[in-house]
Amino acid sequence: MASHIVGYPRMGPKRELKFALESFWDGKSSAEDLEKVSADLRASIWKQMSGAGIKYIPSNTFSYYDQVLDTTAMLGAVPPRYNWTGGEIGFSTYFSMARGNASVPAMEMTKCHFIVPELGPDVNFSYASHKAVNEYNEAKSLGVDTVPVLIGPVTYLLLSKPAKGVEKTFPLLSLLDKILPIYKEVIAELKAAGASWIQFDEPTLVLDLESHQLEAFTKAYAELESSLSGLNVLIETYFADVPAAAFKTLTSLSGVSGFGFDLVRGGQTLDLIKGGFPSGKYLFAGVVDGRNIWANDLEASLTILQSLEGIVGKDKLVVSTSCSLLHTAVDLINEPKLDQEIKSWLAFAAQKVVEVNALAKALAGEKDEAFFSANAAAQASRKSSPRVTNEAVQKAAAALKGSDHRRATNVSARLDAQQKKLNLPILPTTTIGSFPQTIELRRVRREYKAKKISEEEYIKAIKEEINKVVKLQEELDIDVLVHGEPERNDMVEYFGEQLSGFAFTANGWVQSYGSRCVKPPIIYGDVSRPKPMTVFWSTAAQSMTKRPMKGMLTGPVTILNWSFVRNDQPRFETCYQIALAIKDEVEDLEKAGITVIQIDEAALREGLPLRKAEHAFYLDWAVHSFRITNVGVEDTTQIHTHMCYSNFNDIIHSIINMDADVITIENSRSDEKLLSVFREGVKYGAGIGPGVYDIHSPRIPSTEEIADRINKMLAVLETNILWVNPDCGLKTRKYTEVKPALENMVSAAKLLRTQL
Ligand code: GLN
Ligand code: ZN
């Protein structure tokens, strides 16, 4: 019985690749150093998988940035502005596309964190990165025969966008004929190198595709069939089930030997397979969750696998992961401090490899009884642990489903009531929350955490910092102040650490993009708030100024979307629980005299399901959760929300349905797109603060530039609803950038006030 891993994390157990990349980018180490660290990481991963007994071990899932960009390099699809002159693409061109260089900015990155290919009729594709075959050979020289992984040609094109100057309607799929010859070259080389299997990742098959898009798959693989002959071909899908029509297309592809499915998120897939799976083909059954950190329920998986065995036959069933393990943490072995009981419930990538193999062996009649019974015991302890279940919370959250929660007064009337109290000028100025996080500040937090400084010293230091930020904002003459969030390391972690039901890892990093990693908290139990989380700091800050001080919270949907969540209850239930905890906090802030409260929902959009049919349900409970947090406040309490994107034309009704008093959003890139959103906003009547400058860049915008921007917004929006603010928090910037930028922002607002 065979086992397979779709892909593996590349950062290393202690983020070795991150540090090697950043040191190379800073010019502190050589290309050889970077290559050496990377080769060592790959070698240890391959050895680990082969040591664990995995039969189909992937190669070419390593990347210096992301695999889509690797494919762009493989196809030589470098946009002309990078002045690439041909030959094998090296670090300089590769990283210029990823990160920009002194003269050219980077290519666009999507919110799904890959670099978007820019294609058009004029691209001269050429085989320009031999990474796939190099990695295959590298593994082979270590004695490991691997399955080289390529992003499939159709998925690659479906993830692309038309290059600048190319019409938006350019049919990207028409480029298939141009990229397939390159794929053929790659395939021929891999075959010559001795590969017996090749894996094409075609995850776009799980999306809502039109028939011409599905036909592209048929066409592509028919075209590749002769090159692929002699090779076993696996088409891998993940992140959701494959819709019925796509399933039919997929399983009818010519020249393909096996199909991989996500059986964790793919609710319908089992039925589809039962309804008809082509005989003689391999089924790669993704039963081990690649996107979460929970130990697999081995007995439950075994039951599923045994039923599949009955359909496809014993020798055609391969146990696999639901998707690449890239999306989970690397190795539990580096969590010595994690609570033992919670640890027994978890499996990171290294442990998941062992699970896959254990399942494959069990199917083959070599069940490791001790391993299975330890797993069963852990599953049972998780189900019955009092640390997981809090009946009061369960009840309160269950009562929310199907109900509606909405502030009683409409937004215009509320804004009037708030204005009487706040007495703000037109075009009120504010910021999004965080101020620069200096090295000293990080040191203070670190030392407090390590108990190297006392609580007293810590409070004193943080209060001094808040005071500095308050004084600065008063000098700048900003209208609604923030405390600057100096006590927070991260907008989710800060709350998770104070809520029950959350656990934290020391090294549970997941690559976000490039060298950036995140360490999501683990929500393992019912969520509750033992005591106020922000009231102390917010009231301290408010006591330092007569101006309104915004209370600053992270919203339930963002906390949910940026955590590893429970798999033993639906996401919405966990979200409602978090919403109730944040509601308590909102009400305590209000009681403590905070009259403006911002509840950030930075990640609301990224939680949207892949398929449109599921959007309405998600948006319904997500928006409902947000409203729950502030349904109990007085009309005179002003609720702000902030979102880190401006692209919400498609979800504008949900944004309005959040019923916030003021919405601040990112707006650095796509002014035009926002216009329609603005118009909706006018009808709605809430305050809107589209960011007037981009905080992601060190550039300091001039007063004229900002005024010009505000004027453009005023052409569409009513004066009395427009707010003036940067487009996100300032924590990654320096004071030398923030001070002049905010100074210009306030000047621009004042200038325009005189002209209105
Ligand atoms: N209040 C947070 C900050 O200012 C918001 C960050 C975000 O939107 N990502 O840092
Ligand atoms: Zn933001």
Contacts of 210 (CB under 8 A, 6+ apart): none
Q: 652 CA to middle of ligand 2, Å?
A: 17
Specify the residue for token string 């210029």.
Answer: 96
The dihedral formed by the CA atoms of 82, 85, 88 and 89, expressed in degrees to the nearest 10? -10
- What is the reported pTM? 0.95
Are 115 and 97 a contacting pair, CB within 8 Å? yes
Pocket test for ligand 1, best of 598, 642, 666 (most atoms within 8 A of CB): 642
Q: From residue 120, give the alpha-carbon distance in Å to each of 17, 176, 220, 238.
A: 33, 12, 19, 28
Nearest to 581 by CA among 496, 518, 655, 478: 496
Q: 664 CA to middle of ligand 2, Å?
A: 9
Question: Residue whose CA is closest, atom 10 of ligand 1?
Answer: 729
Residue 365 has pLDDT above 90, yes or no: yes
Q: At what angle do helices 16-25 and 91-99 cross, to 10 degrees?
A: 100
Atom number, ligand 1, closest to the C-alpha of residue 434: 4
Residue 337 has pLDDT above 80, yes or no: yes
Q: 436 CA to middle of ligand 2, Å?
A: 14
Atom number, ligand 1, closest to the C-alpha of residue 552: 1
Residue 363 has pLDDT above 70, yes or no: yes
Pocket test for ligand 1, best of 111, 434, 494 (most atoms within 8 A of CB): 434
Nearest ligand by distance to the CA of 733: 1
Query: How buried is 225 (Cβ within 10 angstroms: 0-12 exposed, 13-18 middle, 19+ buried)?
Result: middle
The per-residue pLDDT for 403 is 84
Q: Take residue 441 and report the two structure tokens written for it.
A: 């500040």
Q: Take residue 587 and report the two structure tokens written for it.
A: 């009400």
- 678 pLDDT band, cuts 50/70/90, is low
Nearest ligand by distance to the CA of 494: 1
Atom number, ligand 1, closest to the C-alpha of residue 728: 8
Q: 87 CA to middle of ligand 2, Å?
A: 40
Q: From residue 449, give the alpha-carbon distance in Å to each of 387, 463, 506, 531.
A: 24, 17, 13, 19
Q: 552 CA to middle of ligand 1, Å?
A: 9
Instruction: For residue 81, count other CB atoms closer than 10 A to its CB.
Output: 15
Q: From residue 342, give the alpha-carbon distance in Å to each of 283, 370, 708.
A: 33, 20, 54
Question: Residue whose CA is closest, atom 9 of ligand 1?
Answer: 602
Atom number, ligand 1, closest to the C-alpha of residue 433: 4
Contacts of 221 (CB under 8 A, 6+ apart): 228, 233, 235, 253, 254, 255, 256
Residue 52 has pLDDT above 60, yes or no: yes
Nearest to 593 by CA among 540, 520, 644: 540
Averaged confidence pLDDT in the chain? 95
Helix (H) or strand (E) holding 134: helix 131-141
Q: 666 CA to middle of ligand 2, Å?
A: 7
Q: What share of the chain is helix, strand, coil (3-state, %, to 5)?
A: 50, 15, 40
Q: From residue 72, give the alpha-carbon distance in Å to each of 48, 95, 96, 197, 508.
A: 29, 12, 13, 22, 30
Atom number, ligand 1, closest to the C-alpha of residue 643: 8
Strand partners, 200: 150, 235
User: Averaged over 618-642, what is the pLDDT?
Assistant: 97
The per-residue pLDDT for 669 is 58
Residue 670 has pLDDT above 80, yes or no: no
Pocket test for ligand 1, best of 485, 558, 600 (most atoms within 8 A of CB): 600
Query: How buried is 617 (Cβ within 10 angstroms: 0-12 exposed, 13-18 middle, 19+ buried)?
Result: exposed
Q: 374 CA to middle of ligand 2, Å?
A: 44
Q: From residue 533, give the alpha-carbon distance in Å to each of 146, 179, 498.
A: 50, 54, 7
Q: 467 CA to middle of ligand 1, Å?
A: 20
Atom number, ligand 1, closest to the C-alpha of residue 432: 4
The phi-psi region of residue 320 (left if phi > 0; otherwise alpha if psi is between -120 and 50; otherwise beta) is beta
Q: Take residue 147 and report the two structure tokens written for it.
A: 């399955």
Nearest ligand by distance to the CA of 431: 1
Q: Is 109 helix (H, G, I), strand (E, B) or coil?
A: strand
The proportion of the chain whose per-residue pLDDT surpasses 90, expressed as a percent, equals 90
Question: Residue whose CA is closest, atom 1 of ligand 1?
Answer: 433
The per-residue pLDDT for 41 is 98
The per-residue pLDDT for 671 is 57
- The residues lining ligand 1, judged by C-beta closer than 6 Å to any ligand atom, are 432-434, 485, 491, 552, 600, 602, 642, 644, 728-729, 731
- 500 pLDDT band, cuts 50/70/90, is very high
Query: How buried is 355 (Cβ within 10 angstroms: 0-12 exposed, 13-18 middle, 19+ buried)?
Result: buried
Nearest to 681 by CA among 666, 706, 659, 707: 659
- 102 pLDDT band, cuts 50/70/90, is confident
Residue 731 has pLDDT above 70, yes or no: yes
Q: 602 CA to middle of ligand 2, Å?
A: 6
Nearest ligand by distance to the CA of 492: 1
Nearest ligand by distance to the CA of 553: 1
* pLDDT tens sequence across 160-180: 999 999 999 999 999 999 999
Nearest to 626 by CA among 589, 599, 588: 599
The per-residue pLDDT for 589 is 98
Question: Residue whose CA is closest, atom 5 of ligand 1?
Answer: 729
Q: Take residue 283 and report the two structure tokens written for it.
A: 């089924």
Alpha-carbon Rg for the chain in angstroms? 27
User: Averaged over 309-314, what is the pLDDT?
Assistant: 94
The proportion of the chain whose per-residue pLDDT surpasses 70, expressed as a percent, equals 98
* pLDDT tens sequence across 224-246: 999 999 999 999 999 999 999 99
Nearest ligand by distance to the CA of 484: 1
Pick from 114-123, 279-288, 534-543, 695-704: least confident: 695-704
Are 693 and 748 a contacting pair, CB within 8 Å? no
Atom number, ligand 1, closest to the C-alpha of residue 491: 2
User: Averaged over 447-473, what is the pLDDT?
Assistant: 97
Question: Residue whose CA is closest, atom 4 of ligand 1?
Answer: 729
Residue 672 has pLDDT above 60, yes or no: no
Query: What DSSP string describes 372-429?
Result: HHHHHHHHHHHHH-TTT--HHHHHHHHTTTT-----SS-HHHHHHHHHHHH-PPSS-B
Question: Residue whose CA is closest, atom 3 of ligand 1?
Answer: 729
Nearest to 752 by CA among 419, 676, 668, 717: 717
The per-residue pLDDT for 76 is 98
Query: What DSSP string describes 190-247?
Result: HHHHT--EEEEE-GGGGS---HHHHHHHHHHHHHHHHHHTTSEEEEE--SSPPPHHHH
Pick from 33-37, 177-181, 366-370, 695-699: least confident: 695-699
Q: 431 CA to middle of ligand 1, Å?
A: 10
Atom number, ligand 1, closest to the C-alpha of residue 642: 8
Q: From residue 177, give the alpha-carbon distance in Å to each of 88, 120, 174, 188, 213.
A: 22, 13, 7, 17, 14
Pocket test for ligand 1, best of 481, 491, 558, 664 (most atoms within 8 A of CB): 491
Query: What DSSP string describes 279-322?
Result: TT-EEEEEEE-SSS-BPP-HHHHHHHHHHHHHHH-GGGEEEEES
Residue 192 CA to residue 324 CA, distance in Å, equals 26
Nearest ligand by distance to the CA of 486: 1
The per-residue pLDDT for 675 is 62
Residue 673 has pLDDT above 90, yes or no: no
Atom number, ligand 1, closest to the C-alpha of residue 488: 10
Are 427 and 745 a contacting pair, CB within 8 Å? no
Q: 631 CA to middle of ligand 2, Å?
A: 23
DSSP state of 325: G
Q: Identify residue 158 by its one-letter amino acid code.
A: L
Pick from 60-69, 99-108, 325-334, 720-729: least confident: 99-108
Q: 747 CA to middle of ligand 1, Å?
A: 23
Pocket test for ligand 1, best of 431, 473, 485 (most atoms within 8 A of CB): 485
Which residues are designated catalytic? 696
Pocket test for ligand 1, best of 562, 728, 738 (most atoms within 8 A of CB): 728
